[in-house]
Amino acid sequence: MLNAITRTNYNFPGQNDLYIGKVRDVYTINEELLIMVTSDRISAFDVVLPRAIPYKGQVLNQIAARFLDSTEDIVPNWKIAVPDPMVTVGRLCEPFKVEMVIRGYLSGHAWREYKSGKRSICGVPMPEGMKENDKFPVPIITPTTKAAVGHDEDISKEEILKLGIVDAADYDKLEKYTMAIFQRGTEIAAGMGLILVDTKYEFGKADGNIYLIDEIHTPDSSRYFYNKGYDERQAKGEAQKQLSKEFVREWLMANGFQGQEGQKVPEMTDDFVNLVSERYIELYENITGEKFIRADVSNVPERVERNIIDFLEAYYR
């Protein structure tokens, strides 16, 4: 498929390394730059599905770039340039080995812990008498370890400091940055008629400075609710209307797949792939409030490679 990127295997001048993630292909250049290609791969239930979704990579990359720009007055970030709609180039940082998860509402993993009877998560207390999707009195930070393999695990601030994963001075800054970025994201979402429910941030260090890295506030890394009707749905105990890729999980489950051993991914027809593509474009327009401009997809892998090479030639000229 030339109109979508399933996987890349470029060979750029000065290339030191290539890391293939679930969605992103990350190239290291001259131990100085990271080139992050946001592919059109889509994953669910920790499984990368067999077909790529046209424009998905562009949607995620452009949302992330937009939110990095809108928060750079709070904390410097890794982004240097966006030479292609699916590509961000940034400074190479040494990542902190924790992800800063922040939750404004009792949803997802936090709700599952709460429903099981727990009243604290990552050492942070949760009030009694809450229902699923209720708003916390104040947002809570529930960090996770950043696992190289397998699932990330909950960890408390006290454990992070005790184990020396992050030193106390840096962790204090990470907490302050996390709260401030989440507040900014909440305000932007409210302007779009959305609620930023929870999200995660990753940080790294370069030259002694802390940078915000990776993606932020995309529907792959964040949970959004529609603000309209939120109170009524809560009062009735109804599920909230989400802006996320939850519809993909629901389709998979309806077709007998939940990522369990022995289960086969159902056939992704052209009609379904096109539907998912259109839904991602809808996500973009709802989150940004702007019309999505479709990039040229006559030969996406070639376009991406050409734009990256042009950038590197200009950067190192």
Q: Is 207 exposed, middle or buried (0-12, 13-18, 19+ CB in 10 A)?
A: exposed
SS3 of 29, please?
strand
Compute, in degrees rounded to 10, the torsion defined by CA atoms 23, 145, 106, 108: 40
Domains along the chain with CATH numbers = 15-93+257-315 (3.30.200.20), 95-242 (3.30.470.20)
pLDDT of 33-88, one tens digit each? 999 999 999 988 888 999 999 999 999 999 999 999 999 999 999 999 999 999 99
pLDDT above 60 (res 1): no
Q: Which of 120, 158, 154, 116 is nearest to 136 (CA)?
A: 120
pLDDT in tens, 226-279: 999 999 999 999 999 998 887 898 899 999 998 888 999 999 999 999 999 999
Q: Write the pLDDT tens digit of every residue in 184-224.
A: 999 999 999 999 999 999 999 999 999 999 999 998 889 99
Q: What angle do helix axes 56-70 and 168-191 make, rounded to 10 degrees?
A: 110
pTM of the model: 0.92
From 1, 39, 32, select the one nearest 17 (Cα to Cα). Answer: 32
Alpha carbons 317 and 307: distance in angstroms, whole number: 15
CA distances from 161 to 169, 205, 248, 296 (A): 10, 17, 38, 48
Cα dist from 21 to 49, 123, 295, whole Å = 13, 30, 23
* Residue 97, pLDDT above cutoff 80: yes
Q: For residue 151, name the pLDDT band (cuts at 50, 70, 90).
A: low
The answer to whether residues 24 and 56 touch, using CB atoms and an 8 Å cutoff, is no
Summarised one tens digit per residue, pLDDT across range 100-115 is 999 999 999 999 999 9
Dump pLDDT digits (tens) for 156-188.
Answer: 999 999 999 999 999 999 999 999 999 999 999
pLDDT of residue 235: 97
Residue 150's pLDDT band (cuts 50, 70, 90): low
